[in-house]
């Protein structure tokens, strides 16, 4: 399955752990040429070994995806060492904020969440898009979140706003680049049991979250990785501009 992804160059930003790492291994298992990205070189080396055990080789690049110059240097190295990117997955993004009344949100915290999630997505796509246009093909997958799909008094407001921005950015992108042979879609996971969440979501809290999902479990990184494979492949060749909720039925938009 997904034979069309064999030998495709797949760049996954933010792939040193969690969802990004799971996607890297999944693409390696179908024969793609994987480019790993992150800032933690030790963690990246661990993912690289997992990719190799899956039967593929991986190029590891580092760089700040909120800086155009760093992205351009990454692109030039990727082009020189493995070739131009066929599938771009913007998985880098995070938040260090906490649920806070809007009037108490620190301006720097707001700007940091927008930079890490929305600006990084924009700059990464902007950097790699011209090469895709020149070849007349390519796939872009962005990562949003259920936090950007529904309102809540307990949400991380800046993070949710940034992730909502990623969604409409992806749809605008899809509208622009479809005639150039490029598809763009967005994945919006709900609560996913990453390494960190496995540690922190335990006991009664885990059961409470499970009960919030019509499909009575929490998501796994492999749930997201399988969706990414489908959206990157020719199996979804007439799907573009979609926001796909990986949410066990909890996000009904």
CA distances from 95 to 48, 68, 118, 142 (A): 25, 21, 12, 16
The CA distance from 45 to 49, in Å, is 6
Check 2, 27, 128, 159 and give the catalytic one: 159
Q: Residue holding tokens 């009344």?
A: 101
2 flagged as catalytic: no
Coil, strand or helix at 165? helix
Whole-number Å distance between alpha carbons of 88 and 82: 14
Find the angle CA(143)-CA(94)-CA(139) to the nearest 5 degrees.
Answer: 20
Q: DSSP strand E in 17-86: where?
A: 33-38, 58-62
Report the C-alpha gap between 205 and 212 in whole angstroms: 11
Give catalytic residues, as residue numbers. 159
């Amino acid at each position: 399955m997904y034979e069309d992804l064999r030998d495709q160059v797949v760049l996954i930003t933010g792939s040193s752990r969690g969802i990004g790492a799971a996607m890297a291994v999944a693409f390696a298992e179908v024969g793609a040429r994987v480019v790993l990205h992150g800032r933690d070189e030790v963690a990246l080396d661990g993912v690289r070994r997992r990719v190799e055990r899956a039967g593929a080789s991986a190029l590891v690049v580092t760089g700040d995806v909120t800086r155009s110059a760093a992205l351009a240097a990454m692109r030039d190295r990727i082009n020189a060492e493995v070739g131009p990117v066929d599938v771009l997955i913007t998985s880098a993004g995070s938040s260090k904020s906490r649920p806070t009344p809007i009037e108490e949100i620190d301006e720097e915290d707001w700007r940091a969440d927008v930079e890490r999630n929305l600006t990084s997505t924009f700059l990464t796509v902007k950097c790699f898009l011209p090469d895709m246009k020149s070849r007349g093909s390519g796939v872009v997958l962005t990562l949003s979140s259920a936090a950007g799909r529904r309102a809540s008094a307990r949400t991380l407001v800046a993070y949710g706003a940034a992730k909502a921005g990623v969604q409409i950015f992806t749809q605008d992108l899809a509208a622009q680049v479809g005639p150039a042979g490029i598809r763009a879609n967005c994945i919006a996971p709900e609560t996913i049991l990453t390494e960190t969440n496995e540690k922190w979501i335990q006991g009664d809290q885990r059961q409470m979250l499970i009960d919030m999902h019509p499909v009575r479990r929490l998501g796994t990184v492999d749930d997201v990785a399988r969706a990414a494979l489908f959206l990157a492949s020719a199996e979804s060749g007439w799907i573009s501009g979609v926001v796909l909720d990986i949410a066990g039925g909890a996000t009904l938009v």
